[in-house]
């Protein structure tokens, strides 16, 4: 074999470019946040990412969050492309950039709707706190996904196993994500719990289901 393969087809130059861009973004993140970066690898110690030093927490909008946002868009789009590669064999690059645009618009629209609801229903401060932790967990997801993509791209793992492994990992990640948010956030009483469940269904599950439905 003269050329490395991505699942069942050769790695194209644009895919190599995406991998290089992901590497650069991770290096920038590591340089910007220093030793705190190590806690993006540990589910069991993720609280140290938010509270690295006593009395010090991370803000919602930081250069590092912007860097990892772009990494998340790049890696998530490539991950979806790999999962649905059989349907888009002749137009992979075009489909990939459509995914980037689509995911960016979904995230922007979700942000604007959440912001509007928080103002209308008076939970602006609560939403800011929720988003601070939520973005941190998604930073962790983006970094993990980058290295997972390297494994499945540069390995000979059969596609059916990749599909099954990915499904299990996504379930585990979401269980951890929702449990972390539920525990971290000030969910007191049945009413607050119901609101939390409605929030998860509306702003987390439905957008993901919508993207997967359109891809299929």
- Give Cα separations from 21 to 11, 37, 71, 178, 205 (angstroms): 15, 18, 8, 29, 28
Q: Calculate the alpha carbon distances from 105 to 73, 75, 197 in Å.
A: 11, 16, 24
Confidence grade of residue 25 (pLDDT, cut at 50, 70, 90): very high
C-alpha span between 79 and 152 (Å, rounded): 10
Lowest mean pLDDT of 20-24, 122-126, 151-155, 165-169, name the range: 122-126
Instruction: Average the pLDDT over 199-212 and give the result.
Output: 65
Question: Against a cut of 0.95, is the pTM above it?
Answer: no
Q: What is the pLDDT of residue 190?
A: 61
Please write the tens of the pLDDT for every residue from 159-187.
Answer: 788 888 988 998 888 888 777 777 766 55
Q: Where are the alpha helices (DSSP H) in 34-185?
A: 47-50, 63-83, 92-120, 124-153, 159-184
Which run of H or of E encompasses 208? helix 206-215
pLDDT at residue 209 tops 70? no
Cα separation, 185 vs 196, in Å, equals 10
Smallest CA-to-CA distance from 41 within 150, 146, 152 is with 146
Nearest to 83 by CA among 139, 165, 13: 165
Place of tokens 């979904």: 106
Closest to 20 in 3D by CA, of 28, 32, 10: 28
Determine the pLDDT at residue 207.
Answer: 65
- Among the listed ranges 2-11, 27-36, 62-71, 108-117, which one has the minimum average pLDDT value? 2-11
- Confidence category of residue 3, pLDDT binned at 50, 70, 90: very low
Mean pLDDT of 130-136: 77
The reported pLDDT for the residue numbered 199 is 66
Who contacts 118 (Cβ-Cβ below 8 Å, separation ≥6)?
A: 124, 126, 127
Query: What is the predicted pLDDT for the residue at 158?
Result: 83
Residue 27 has pLDDT above 90, yes or no: yes
Tokens representing 50 are: 């938010």
What is the model's pLDDT at position 23?
Answer: 94
pLDDT digits (tens, 9 = 90+) for 29-83: 888 888 777 777 765 566 666 655 544 445 556 888 889 999 999 999 999 888 8
Mean pLDDT, the chain, rounded, equals 76
- Supply the DSSP string of 7-44, one letter for each residue: TTEEPPHHHHHHHHHHHHHHHHHHHHHGGGGGGGG-GG
Residue 162: CA count within 13 A, CB half-sphere: 22
Q: Is the sign of the CA dihedral 103, 141, 125, 30 positive or negative?
A: negative
């Amino acid at each position: 074999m003269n050329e490395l393969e991505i699942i069942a087809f050769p790695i194209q130059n644009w895919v190599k470019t995406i991998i290089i861009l992901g590497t650069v973004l991770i290096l920038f993140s590591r340089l910007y946040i220093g030793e705190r970066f190590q806690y993006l690898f540990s589910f069991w110690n993720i609280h140290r990412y938010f509270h690295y030093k006593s009395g010090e927490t991370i803000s919602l909008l930081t250069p590092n969050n912007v860097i990892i946002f772009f990494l998340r868009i790049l890696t998530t789009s490539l991950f979806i492309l790999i999962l649905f590669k059989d349907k888009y064999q002749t137009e992979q690059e075009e489909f990939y950039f459509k995914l980037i645009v689509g995911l960016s618009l979904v995230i922007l629209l979700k942000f604007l709707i959440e912001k509007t609801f928080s103002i209308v229903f008076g939970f602006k401060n609560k939403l800011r706190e929720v988003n601070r932790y939520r973005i941190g967990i998604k930073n962790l997801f983006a970094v993990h996904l980058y290295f997972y993509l390297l494994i499945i791209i540069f390995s000979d793992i059969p596609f059916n196993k990749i599909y099954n492994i990915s499904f299990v990992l996504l379930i585990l990640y979401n269980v951890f994500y929702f449990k972390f948010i539920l525990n971290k956030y000030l969910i007191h009483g049945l009413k607050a719990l119901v609101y939390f469940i409605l929030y998860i269904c509306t702003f987390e599950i439905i957008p993901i289901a919508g993207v997967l439905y359109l891809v299929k």
